[in-house]
Amino acid sequence: MNDLRIGPDGLSRCGWVGDDAEYRRYHDEEWGRPLHGDRALFEKMSLEGFQAGLSWITILRKRPRFREVFAGLEPAAVAAFDEADVERLMADAGIIRNRAKILATIGNARLVVAMAPGELDALMWSFAPAPRAEADRPRSFADVPAVTAASDALSKTLRKAGFRFVGSTTMYALMQSAGMVDDHLVGCHRARA
């Protein structure tokens, strides 16, 4: 895989996009753009947790079904799920049928509901590092870390609060996708100037 890839529209993108149209759309419209709101960040946390051990494109393609069967990933609605809902989800081939991840999503929703409105957003964004200087922007995939001190600290804080499937690698992926860090490579049309 090349570090940068020129799309059919002539734009240079981070190479992980490959030739997939859905990945191009995600890269251009979502990945690395600042995301705020408890519901939006709960969804991102949940989907990143389901992604652990899988490719993101798998989750991206299943995201509409996740939203449908998890009540729009509204924390209050998911927090009310019971054992019948767990069994319903385990039988749904349109999502990742992993009992531990399903239970973690429900448990995490209950923790979000117990927080004050805006608290999850404020907590997560409190770990966002200062924007890097343009000279420090990654030039290749080799320059992009899997974890950082900030993702370690966010993961530790969330785990201490009882959240599950929030390991450091998962939280760094969330930080990238939610725009807390900007890991678009030098030369990518989405790189912040």
Annotated binding site: 14, 27, 184, 188
CA–CA distance, 66 with 48 (Å, rounded to integer): 12
Give the DSSP per-residue string, 59-70: HHHHHHHHHHHT
83 is catalytic: no
Element (H, E) at 6: strand 4-6
Which whole-number Å values give the CA distances from 5 to 14, 115, 158, in the listed order? 6, 42, 35
Which among 56, 83, 87, 134 is annotated as catalytic? 56
Q: Which residues are CB-contacts of 69 (< 8 A; sequence separation ≥ 6)? A: 88, 89, 92, 94, 95
CA–CA distance, 51 with 174 (Å, rounded to integer): 11
56 is catalytic: yes
Give the DSSP per-residue string, 86-146: HHHHHT-TTS---HHHHHHHHHHHHHHHHSPTTHHHHHHHTTPPPPPPGGGS-SSGGGS-S
CA–CA distance, 141 with 135 (Å, rounded to integer): 16
Which among 26, 68, 74, 119 is annotated as catalytic? 26
Beta bridge partners of residue 5, listed in sequence order? 13
**Which residues are annotated as part of the binding site for Zn(2+)?**
14, 27, 184, 188
Which among 31, 48, 74, 172 is annotated as catalytic? 48
Element (H, E) at 4: strand 4-6
125 is catalytic: no
- Residues that are catalytic: 26, 48, 56
